[in-house]
Structure 1
Amino acid sequence: MNFTDFNFKKEINQTLESINFQKPTEVQEKLIPIVLSGRDLVGESKTGSGKTHTFLLPIFQNLDVTLNEVQAVITAPSRELATQIYKAAQEFVKINPSIRVSNFVGGTDKARQIKKLENGQPHIVIGTPGRIHDLIKSGALIVYTANTFVVDEADMTLDMGFLSDVDNIASAFGKKVQMLVFSATIPQKLQPFLKKYLHNPVMQTIANKTVISDTIENWLISTKGASHNQLLLQISQAINPYMAMIFANTKGRVDDIHHFLVSNGLKVAKIHGDIPPRERKRIMNSIKNLDYQYVVATDIAARGIDIEGVSHIINDEIPKDLTFFVHRVGRSGRNGLTGTAITLYSPSDDSAIREIEKMGVTFQPKAVKNGEIVDSYDRDRREKREKKRDEISLATRGALAKGKKKVKPGYKRAIKWQIEEENKKKRRAERNKNARKQREGRKQSF
């Protein structure tokens, strides 16, 4: 299927051609017709599957530029994600400058935004829930005219405590607004909101063929009690990445890693919630200009920031919420490119590692040795060795233990004979078992 099969307006097809979009993703192919039909929708699919254009394309298709009113509102849980959607929308404005799109996010000049709204309403509103709600509450932003409301990354919106703002925004619309909810997962706590505002919605899940792109290798490195900072430095020097993102669980840990790596001569940027919006914007521009080789960040960056060309992901810690492991690793290996995800772990992380493996992730055991990343032992080797030992009887195990010591001539030969005798007994027992089955089978046939 091609985008031209949707019969979009001429200027939409021109935009798609200019950004080199030819074939829709699976999400776009399945969900765009539903959105165009006017039905409410709950779309569940992984991050990076093409959800943004799944809702943007129908919005622009139905837009009436002759009306001086808000026709669509899109919320996103982070400034960076809202800005990414805004930039994607701006591509359509290049072809048709009469379309007005506004981006309202926290940390920007609200008084200036209110003043601008006095001169006219935008056709499409994009922003963070808190700022959009503030502008509606002030009376400056008038949204009851909108016919489409999009809640993007709904599970992240819930996790970050913005659902009450989204609820207040939703209550400001007229009865005919189309509700589109997109999310990587649909948690149970989101259900009351969905039941309150969505009318007979289409519930569509796009199953992940693979939880993580098959172009990404997942390496597992045991810390063995070593300093995480030193290990991160050794890994960084060994891989010499084009662009690496290092993820930590807390802002304090991000600050610590950043300070340590910078003091060791690496070009490192840091991103977390305590960095002022203007500074975050400056950092993002510098990252895109490749002024940094490393970006150390909290999980807000795993889903709120799209950085091109990330070759490596390094997990300083396994995230508390294991779904974020997928979001972190998904920053690499995009658009068919290869990537490598490196996860540091200690024995206390074993249960979390097993849960991630159940999600379909296959880890390769690695170690840092002499400045290089080398193959290492499987972390389960001791358990596998124990299972193998259990197959040998206690008597033979005792004999094997004695055999390691200095013994009389012929003793080791006796041990070998004993093991062979045990194997013969096992084979004989197996033959007898099979013979019994055959006899029982013949009796039943009579």
Structure 2
Amino acid sequence: MKFTDFKFKSYINDTLEAIGFTQPTEVQEKLIPIVLSGRDLIGESKTGSGKTHTFLLPILQSIDPEKAEVQAVITAPSRELATQIYHAAQEFTKFNPALRISNYVGGTDKARQIKKLEQNQPHLVIGTPGRIHDLIGSNALLVHTAHTFVVDEADMTLDMGFLTDVDRIASSFGKHVQMLVFSATIPQKLQPFLKKYLHHPLMEKIANHAVIADTIENWLLSTKGVSRNELLLKITKIINPYMCMIFANTKDRVDEIHQFLSSNGLKIAKIHGDIPPRERKRIMNSIKNLDYQYVVATDIAARGIDIEGVSHIINDEIPKDLTFFVHRVGRSGRNGLIGTAITLYAPSDDAAIREIEKMNVTFEPKAIKNGEIVASYDRDRRENRTKKQDELSTTTRGALAKAKKRKHVKPGYKRAIKWAVEEENKQKRRAARNKNNRKKRESKKQTF
């Protein structure tokens, strides 16, 4: 299937061709016709699946530039994500200059935005819930005319405490507004909002054939007995990435990593919630200009921020919410490019790693030797060895343990132990054969 099969307006097709979009992704192919039909929709899909254009293209198709009113509103939980959607939408104004698209996020000049709104209303509103709600409350932004409302990254919106603002925005629309909710997951706490505003929504979950792209290698590096900062420094000296994102669980840890690696000569930027909006905007522009080779960030950057050319991901820690592991690693290996995700782990992380493995993620154990990252042993080797010993009787295991502890043993003692182990295994095999033969005989008797 091609984008031209959707019969979009000519300026949309011209823009798609100009930006190199020819074939829709799975989520786009499945959901765009639903959005075009006008139905309310709950779309659940993984990060990087192309859902931005899934709702953006039908919205642009429905906008009438001759109407000087708001026709669609899109909310996103972070400034960076909202700005990213805004830039994607702005691409289409090159072939249709009559389109008015505005981005309203916190940390920008609210008074100036209000003054501009007094002159004219945008056709498409994109922004963070707090700022959009403020502008509506000031009677500057008139959204009652909108026919479409999109809540992007709904689970993240909930986690960051913005659902109340989204609720208030939703109450500003008319009864017949189309509601589109997109999210990587649909948590239970989101259900009251969905029931309140969506009318007979179609729920579509795009199955993850591979949670992590096939082009990404997932490496595990143990931190046992090693300073995490020193280990990070060693890794950076080995991998020489095109662009590497390092993820930490807290703002303080981001600051610590940034300070340590900066002091060791690395060009590294940091992103987290305490950095002022203007500074974050400057940092993002510098990252896009490749002024930095490394970016250290909290999980807020794992959702929505699209940094091109990320070749490596380093998880300084496994995230508390394991779903963020996918979002972190998903920053790499995009558009078929090869990526490497390196996860640092301690023995206490074993249960979390097993949970991630249940998500069809395969880890490769690695270690640093002689300035190189090399294949290492399976972290389960001790458990597997224990299982083999558990197959022996208590008496034999005890004898083996004593033999290992004794410095001096009688001649032939170890040979006797070895013979005992072999004899025990023979008896087990013999018992298994006899049991199998009995089953066969009983089966024959029943037949006759």
Q: CA deviation at 1:199?
A: 0.5
Q: CA deviation at 1:153?
A: 0.4
1:206 is aligned to 206
1:423 is aligned to 425
Q: What runs of 5+ residues in structure 2 fail to find an aligned partner?
A: none
**What secondary structure does 1:144 align onto?**
coil
| Cα gap change, 1:396 to 1:157, in 2 (>3 Å) | same
Matched, 1:139 2:139: yes
Partner letter of residue 432 of structure 1? Answer: N
Q: CA deviation at 1:10?
A: 1.1
Q: CA deviation at 1:345?
A: 1.0
CA distance in 2: counterparts of 1:418 and 1:320, whole angstroms: 48
Q: CA deviation at 1:414?
A: 2.8
Q: CA deviation at 1:415?
A: 3.0
Partner letter of residue 115 of structure 1? Answer: K
Farther off after superposition, 68-77 or 273-282: 273-282
CA offset digits 1:293-317 (Å, max 9, x no partner): 1000000000031100111111111
**What secondary structure does 2:199 align onto?**
coil
CA distance in 2: counterparts of 1:407 and 1:301, whole angstroms: 62
Matched, 1:372 2:372: yes
CA offset digits 1:202-247 (Å, max 9, x no partner): 0000010011111111111111132111111111111111111000
Q: CA deviation at 1:406?
A: 4.1
CA distance in 1: counterparts of 2:163 and 2:349, whole angstroms: 32
Answer yes or no: is the 8 Å Cα contact 1:105–1:127 preserved in 2.
Answer: yes
**What secondary structure does 1:304 align onto?**
coil
2:442 is aligned to 440
Matches within 5 A, 1:351-366: 351-366=351-366
CA offset digits 1:155-187 (Å, max 9, x no partner): 000000000000000000011110000000000
1:249 is aligned to 249
1:25 is aligned to 25
Partner letter of residue 417 of structure 2? Answer: I
CA offset digits 1:362-396 (Å, max 9, x no partner): 11111122221122221111111110111222333
Partner letter of residue 443 of structure 1? Answer: K
CA distance in 2: counterparts of 1:398 and 1:406, whole angstroms: 17
CA distance in 2: counterparts of 1:424 and 1:382, whole angstroms: 25
CA distance in 1: counterparts of 2:409 and 2:279, whole angstroms: 74
Partner letter of residue 122 of structure 1? Answer: P
Partner letter of residue 295 of structure 2? Answer: V
Matches within 5 A, 1:289-300: 289-300=289-300
Partner letter of residue 436 of structure 1? Answer: R
CA distance in 2: counterparts of 1:159 and 1:401, whole angstroms: 52
1:129 is aligned to 129
**What secondary structure does 2:303 align onto?**
helix
CA offset digits 1:4-48 (Å, max 9, x no partner): 111111111111100111110000000000000000000000011
1:99 is aligned to 99
Q: What runs of 5+ residues in structure 1 fail to find an aligned partner?
A: none
CA distance in 2: counterparts of 1:63 and 1:235, whole angstroms: 50
1:273 is aligned to 273
Matches within 5 A, 1:13-412: 13-401=13-401, 403-404=403-404, 405-412=407-414
Partner letter of residue 237 of structure 2? Answer: Q
Partner letter of residue 361 of structure 2? Answer: V
Partner letter of residue 219 of structure 1? Answer: W
Q: CA deviation at 1:401?
A: 4.2
CA distance in 2: counterparts of 1:436 and 1:78, whole angstroms: 69
Partner letter of residue 231 of structure 2? Answer: L
Partner letter of residue 389 of structure 1? Answer: Q
**What secondary structure does 2:282 align onto?**
helix
Q: Percent identity?
A: 82
**What secondary structure does 1:126 align onto?**
strand
Answer yes or no: is the 8 Å Cα contact 1:145–1:174 preserved in 2.
Answer: yes
Partner letter of residue 213 of structure 2? Answer: S
Answer yes or no: is the 8 Å Cα contact 1:225–1:346 preserved in 2.
Answer: no
Question: Normalising by structure 2, what TM-score?
Answer: 0.97
Q: CA deviation at 1:403?
A: 4.8
CA distance in 1: counterparts of 2:394 and 2:195, whole angstroms: 62
Partner letter of residue 81 of structure 1? Answer: L
CA distance in 2: counterparts of 1:186 and 1:204, whole angstroms: 11
Farther off after superposition, 50-59 or 415-424: 415-424
Question: Normalising by structure 1, what TM-score?
Answer: 0.98
